[in-house]
Amino acid sequence: MRHGDRAKETASRRALVVIEWLGMLVVLCGAIGPLLLLAISSIAHSWFWPALLPGEWSGRAWSYVLAPVAGVGEALVTSLLIAVLVALAALSMAWPAGRLVAQRDFPGKRALLFLLLLPVLAPPLASTMGMHALFLRYGLADTLLGVVLAHLVPSVPYATMVLTGSFSRFESGLEEQARTLGASRFRVWRDVTIPAIRPGLAVAGAFAFLISWSQYLSTLIIGGGRVQTLPLSLVAFQRSGDEPIAAALSLLFLAPAVLLLLGVGRLMITVNGKDGQ
Amino acid sequence: MNKRLGGRRGGRLVALLTAMIVVLTGLACRRAEESGPSRVEIDPSQLSSREWPELERRARGTTVNYAMWAGDEARNRYFRGPFADELRQRYGIELRIVPLGDVAEAVNKLLNEKGAGKTRGGSIDMIWINGENFGTARQGGVLWGPFADALPHIGRYADEARQRDFGTPIEGYEAPWQRAQFVMAWDTGRMAAPPADIPGLIEWIRANPGRFTYPAPPDFTGSVFLRHLLYHFGGGPEKFQQGFDEELYQRTADQVFALLRELRPALWRRGETYPANPRDADRLFVNREIDLTMSYGPAFASERIARGEYPATVRTFVFTSGTIGNYNYLAIPFNAANPTGALVVINHLMGVESLLDQSRRLGITFPLDPARLSAAERDLVAALPRGPATLTTEELASHLLPEPAVRYLERLERDWRERVLQP
């Protein structure tokens, strides 16, 4: 009897493990399936229904995308440069804003919060057109700096939200204690504030980076075709229906984002682990 | 211990961030400055009197920013590669491509710039344009000119290429370049012969329910399909060339939409949905869901065969009553920084020699009027390589119909939505 119970128990536990792994498999398929499809279509030559796999393979798309004549390398560098600048600028704006909202009470705080989040709600086309008119006047249209400023509009609200969360959990008394113990302002900043909000900084920075990385409309309008980022080439080929090249560009487009997520994930886990000690 | 480790990391982070901000801001500013092209201005009214060699001399050493649709690998390779080299060697001109996903983007940009008073030093010197975009640009007054009739190479184009672009008078504000013509494609592996003309096509659709569809207007290709029906019921293209006759339109469009409604149950998915663009229609064709597909590019099927997107057995055809074609053009924006250089590049692109090269490398339809070519040039055109699915230049030219005035096109597109898609 007891033996039977134990057998039943192990059986149900085994079933549970199988279900867990099946679930994991579904998630993995969902995550990897589309990537695999992109990889295949980037090297497919003739892929006719009802064949499951392409009849012939070809390196045409990759040899074009990687050729200097395609300008993809330049677009990649431009995209990276813009996204990194946007992430840094967004952090430096979101830091004081997030701290203020999280740690101080003042009349009109709700209104201020609403204003901070307003750029997320406003239709991007309308705000970008308005910005373009303004930027034309100040010579910022068709420049990289102008594009960075345009990307900041949707990035800063998200960064601010994340850092508000970090600062609301941050015990600012720690800073005072460190000061009392004789640490300089810089040292407090470096050894107390930054380590405490580092996960928030990483997430907010990654958010801003990814928002900038995937911008199409604002780059197009403010950059005026002179600032070429990866999404611009990607959209041109998606519209023209050249699937292998669109697929190859999509994979290139995904790569930095995936690397960034892995990096940020690692940083967060290390920090959490340390907190636990 | 941990605390110190964290502290050191923090310090390094701060140093790294500071260094990055300094370096990247520097880079950003430098790149922003780079975008100022050399400025060579010229008055269009003095163009005809100016000697061309003098113009070419002045254009030497300048940069021309060419805004073009960039969704085609062969074109991107050609214009950034061999063509740019040719310009550099021959004219000392540096060609810079401003890639566009859609030409309307550039027209909107110019309209914005005009609104903001940016009348000089624009970032585009020449633009590949036609039809509605040209109409919008002319209406907004954002094109430089008139210049086209002063170009040495314009004389080789047929007169109609210089008169109207979808009904909009050209008046020298764009120069003809390449030619497009509607063709349909079928797969000889599936079907022996395609329908010969519009009545034949209608019969074929009725006899083969579910095997035909067209991209939903206002898609450009779906829209030109409607225009063929307009000509079919309106007795040919002549009446639709100028202005807009409401009564004529109503009478003809009633027949067009009555037919399309009647055919709906015989279309792919019973006409309840339509492919959004030719690319989606192509996919249906390749997946054997439909048996006919259509395009504005006479060489499209050959290109797709070469890329492995179509089986090698696909061929193209035109209706015996003809198919609609148009020219596409090159124009110069009102605020171009270097119109002189643009004039030299545009004229070069329109020359027999360059057009032969473009035909060989890009498979474009040779656009010049055969009657204005020498016997030797005609031989060169006849000897041009042609893709397996592409019709000959003569076949295409002898079946060419002009576009109607743009108002007919706009009304057809708008009314299709109300009268066919959701009646």
Q: What pLDDT does B292 receive?
A: 97
**Length of chain B (residues):** 423
Domain count of the fold of chain B: 2
Interchain contact B106–A (C-beta under 8 A): yes
- Collect all residues of chain B within an 8 Å Cβ-Cβ radius of residue A191: 3, 6-7, 10
Q: Where are the alpha helices (DSSP H) in chain A?
A: 2-42, 60-65, 72-103, 109-121, 124-137, 144-168, 173-180, 185-188, 194-213, 217-223, 230-240, 243-276
Using 50, 70 and 90 to split pLDDT, how confident is the model at B1?
A: very low
- Examine the domain organization and report whether B247 and B354 are in the same domain: no
Q: What pLDDT does A269 receive?
A: 61
Report how many Cβ contacts below 8 Å link chain A to chain B. Answer: 141
Nearest CA in chain B to A54: B308
- Examine the domain organization and report whether B299 and B412 are in the same domain: yes
- Examine the domain organization and report whether B71 and B167 are in the same domain: yes
Question: In this structure, are residues A82 and A144 in contact, taking their beta carbons and an 8 Å threshold?
Answer: yes
Whether pLDDT at B399 is above 90: yes
- Collect all residues of chain A within an 8 Å Cβ-Cβ radius of residue B282: 241
Q: What pLDDT does A268 receive?
A: 65
Separation CA B204–CA B200 (nearest Å): 6
Condensed to tens digits (0 to 9), the pLDDT of residues B337-392 reads: 999 999 999 999 999 999 999 999 998 889 998 899 999 999 999 899 889 999 98
Q: ipTM of this predicted complex?
A: 0.79
- Collect all residues of chain B within an 8 Å Cβ-Cβ radius of residue A60: 73, 307
| Region for B157 from its dihedrals, namely left if φ exceeds 0, alpha if ψ lies in -120 to 50, beta otherwise | beta
Q: Do A136 and B116 touch (CB under 8 A)?
A: yes
Whether pLDDT at B121 is above 80: yes
Q: What pLDDT does B336 receive?
A: 96
- Examine the domain organization and report whether B290 and B409 are in the same domain: yes
Structure tokens at B260: 């399309």
- Collect all residues of chain A within an 8 Å Cβ-Cβ radius of residue B70: 233, 236
Range of the domain at B116: 44-179+327-388
> How large is the average pLDDT for residues B226-234?
96
Condensed to tens digits (0 to 9), the pLDDT of residues B173-191 reads: 999 999 999 999 999 999 9
Q: How far is A117 from chain B (nearest CA, A)?
A: 26
Using 50, 70 and 90 to split pLDDT, how confident is the model at B2?
A: very low
Q: What pLDDT does B3 receive?
A: 39
Question: In this structure, are residues B162 and B327 in contact, taking their beta carbons and an 8 Å threshold?
Answer: no
> How large is the average pLDDT for residues A173-200?
91
Interchain contact B10–A (C-beta under 8 A): yes
Number of C-beta neighbours around residue B248 at 10 A: 13
Q: What pLDDT does B393 receive?
A: 86
- Examine the domain organization and report whether B354 and B278 are in the same domain: no
- Examine the domain organization and report whether B267 and B408 are in the same domain: yes
Q: pLDDT exceeding 90 applies to what percent of chain A? A: 55
Separation CA B133–CA B383 (nearest Å): 34
Separation CA A126–CA B33 (nearest Å): 28
Q: Do A88 and B20 touch (CB under 8 A)?
A: yes
**Least confident stretch, A48-52, A130-134, A222-226, B167-171:** A48-52
Question: In this structure, are residues B77 and A64 in contact, taking their beta carbons and an 8 Å threshold?
Answer: yes
- Collect all residues of chain A within an 8 Å Cβ-Cβ radius of residue B32: 143-146
> How large is the average pLDDT for residues B126-151?
94
Using 50, 70 and 90 to split pLDDT, how confident is the model at B32?
A: very low
Q: What pLDDT does B46 receive?
A: 78
> How large is the average pLDDT for residues B301-314?
92
B17, B18, B27, B35: best mutation site toward chain A, by most A Cβ within 10 Å? B35
Q: What pLDDT does B338 receive?
A: 95
Start-to-end CA distance of chain B, whole Å, equals 76
The set of residues, in sequence order, having a beta carbon less than 8 Å from that of A194 and lying 6+ positions away, is A201, B10, B13, B14
Q: Do A225 and B98 touch (CB under 8 A)?
A: yes
- A49-72: b (≥16 Cβ within 10 Å) or e: eeeeebeeebebbbebbebeebbb
Whether pLDDT at A159 is above 60: yes
Q: What pLDDT does B167 receive?
A: 82
Q: What pLDDT does A276 receive?
A: 37
Question: In this structure, are residues A84 and A208 in contact, taking their beta carbons and an 8 Å threshold?
Answer: no
The set of residues, in sequence order, having a beta carbon less than 8 Å from that of A77 and lying 6+ positions away, is none
Q: What pLDDT does B423 receive?
A: 63
Residue B13 forms part of a structural domain: no
| Residue B193 backbone dihedrals phi, psi, to 5 degrees | -140, 145
Interchain contact B2–A (C-beta under 8 A): yes
- Collect all residues of chain B within an 8 Å Cβ-Cβ radius of residue A221: 108-109, 112
Residue B10 forms part of a structural domain: no
Condensed to tens digits (0 to 9), the pLDDT of residues A70-96 reads: 899 999 999 999 999 999 999 999 999
Separation CA B224–CA B180 (nearest Å): 12
Condensed to tens digits (0 to 9), the pLDDT of residues B6-27 reads: 444 445 555 665 666 566 555 5
Separation CA B312–CA B388 (nearest Å): 8
Q: What pLDDT does B35 receive?
A: 42
- Examine the domain organization and report whether B338 and B413 are in the same domain: no
Residue B222 forms part of a structural domain: yes
B 305-344 → A contacts, CB under 8 A? 307-309, 311
Helix axes of A109-121 and A72-103: crossing angle, nearest 10 degrees: 160
Residue B38 forms part of a structural domain: no
Residue B55 forms part of a structural domain: yes
- Examine the domain organization and report whether B331 and B321 are in the same domain: no
- Examine the domain organization and report whether B228 and B292 are in the same domain: yes
HSE, side-chain direction, 13 A CA sphere, residue B379: 3
- Collect all residues of chain A within an 8 Å Cβ-Cβ radius of residue B101: 220, 232, 235-236, 239
Q: Do A71 and B69 touch (CB under 8 A)?
A: no
Residue B33 forms part of a structural domain: no
Whether pLDDT at A109 is above 60: yes
Residue B73 forms part of a structural domain: yes
Question: In this structure, are residues B337 and B418 in contact, taking their beta carbons and an 8 Å threshold?
Answer: no
- Examine the domain organization and report whether B137 and B255 are in the same domain: no
Q: What pLDDT does B37 receive?
A: 43
Q: What pLDDT does B5 receive?
A: 40
- Collect all residues of chain B within an 8 Å Cβ-Cβ radius of residue A78: 31
Using 50, 70 and 90 to split pLDDT, how confident is the model at B59?
A: very high
Interchain contact B119–A (C-beta under 8 A): no
Number of C-beta neighbours around residue A196 at 10 A: 22
Q: What pLDDT does B197 receive?
A: 95
Residue B368 forms part of a structural domain: yes
Number of C-beta neighbours around residue A260 at 10 A: 18
Separation CA B176–CA B160 (nearest Å): 10
Whether pLDDT at A125 is above 90: no
Interchain contact B12–A (C-beta under 8 A): no
Question: In this structure, are residues B290 and B281 in contact, taking their beta carbons and an 8 Å threshold?
Answer: yes
Q: For position B250, which CATH number holds?
A: 3.40.190.10
The torsion of the CA quartet B350, B356, B357, B363, rounded to 10 degrees, works out to: 100
Q: Do A71 and B99 touch (CB under 8 A)?
A: yes
Separation CA B292–CA B284 (nearest Å): 9
Going from the C-alpha of B302 to that of each of A43, B182, B362, B384, the distances in angstroms are 20, 14, 11, 14
Q: What pLDDT does B38 receive?
A: 44
Residue with tokens 């009564």: B247
> How large is the average pLDDT for residues B157-168?
90
Q: What pLDDT does B408 receive?
A: 93
Mean pLDDT over the full length of chain B: 89
The segment with the largest mean pLDDT, out of A179-193, B81-95, B239-253, B363-377, is B81-95
Q: Of residues B357 and B30, which shows the higher confidence score?
A: B357
Q: pLDDT exceeding 90 applies to what percent of chain B? A: 71
Q: What pLDDT does B13 receive?
A: 54
| Residue B246 backbone dihedrals phi, psi, to 5 degrees | -55, -45
Whether pLDDT at A196 is above 70: yes
- Examine the domain organization and report whether B341 and B359 are in the same domain: yes
Q: Of residues B31 and A238, which shows the higher confidence score?
A: A238
Using 50, 70 and 90 to split pLDDT, how confident is the model at A277?
A: very low
- Examine the domain organization and report whether B152 and B61 are in the same domain: yes
Q: Do B308 and A142 touch (CB under 8 A)?
A: no
